[in-house]
Amino acid sequence: IRLISIGHYGMSPYGGGTGTGTDTGLLERGPALLREMDRLGMLLDVTHTSDRSVREALAIFKGPLLATHSKVRALCPREGQVPDDINQALVDRDGGMGASMDTWMLWPDGAPDWGTNSWPNNRKYFPRSAVTLDDLVNHMEYVNRLAGDALHSGIGGDTDGQGGVECAPADVDSVVDYHRVADILRRRGYSEPDVENIMWRNWVRLFDRALPAR
């Protein structure tokens, strides 16, 4: 195990995850886990972790950070999205955010709260055609503007975990369609090196640096 997230849905033994609100902090066992992760040179994934838990973790854990599959809260204001200060921490530690393809959290009007969240029922709220990969790239671009470069954004995938094709962007039927992200980036004026960084090089660079342990 080389990478750990201290939360997911609900409470973990270490802190708050998605569905526990943004102000749930670390639990008693959280700091010890983070210190041991730091000692071993592991990576911390801030995805699915409450804001307060992440902020408290950053005061303890000094190693590499990333959000493997998440979104920008400023574009879709929901719990579970990454707020600006945590995105800035990802950039400052030379990590990054992988934008996931869960339309529930790409829909610009914002999803209902997590208590009513049921991915197979997305269509009750919006048609599949309402969210495309252009919406996904908007989240990447937000991180790029925050960072001042294209070195901290990437693809977070998650089409298998979010409910399959029915809950993926309208122009994604399988992972084969991820290449369409590159086409959108080029259309928006990104250079070929920046396209390659976002599509795969940013993740490779991070893991080359952080793995194996220091």
φ, ψ dihedrals at 192, nearest 5°: -65, -40
Q: Distance between CA atoms of 206 and 26, rounded to whole angstroms?
A: 26
Compute the residue count for the chain. Answer: 214
The answer to whether 60 touches 35, Cβ cutoff 8 Å, is: yes
Q: Please check the confidence at residue 69 and state whether its pLDDT lies above 60.
A: yes
Strands of 40-117 (E only): list them.
43-45, 65-70, 97-100
Cis peptide before 31 (omega within 30 of 0): no
Q: What is the pLDDT of residues 98-148, one digit of tens each?
A: 999 988 889 887 665 555 455 556 677 888 899 999 999 999 999 999 999
Predicted confidence at residue 113, as pLDDT, reads: 59
In the Cβ-directed half-sphere of 85, how many Cα atoms lie within 13 Å?
6
Q: Give the mean pLDDT of the chain.
A: 90
pLDDT at 87: 97
Largest CA-CA distance found in the chain, in angstroms, rounded:
49
Whether pLDDT at 182 is above 80: yes
Are 22 and 79 in contact by the 8 Å Cβ rule? The answer is: yes
Nearest to 105 by CA among 137, 153, 73: 73
Q: Residue 70: its pLDDT value, please? A: 94
pLDDT value, residue 55:
97
Check residue 162 and give its pLDDT.
66
Q: Which of 39-48, 104-113, 183-192, 198-207 has the lowest mean pLDDT?
A: 104-113
Provide the pLDDT confidence category of residue 194 given band limits of 50, 70 and 90.
Answer: very high
What would the mean pLDDT of 157-183 be, rounded to a whole number?
86
Looking at mean pLDDT, say which of 15-19, 28-32, 154-158, 166-170 comes out highest. 28-32
Q: What's the predicted TM-score (pTM) here? A: 0.93
DSSP state of 209: H
Which ranges constitute the DSSP H helices of 129-179? 133-147
178, two tokens = 């991820």
26: nearest Cα among 40, 44, 41, 39 = 44
Residue appearing with tokens 């838990």:
53
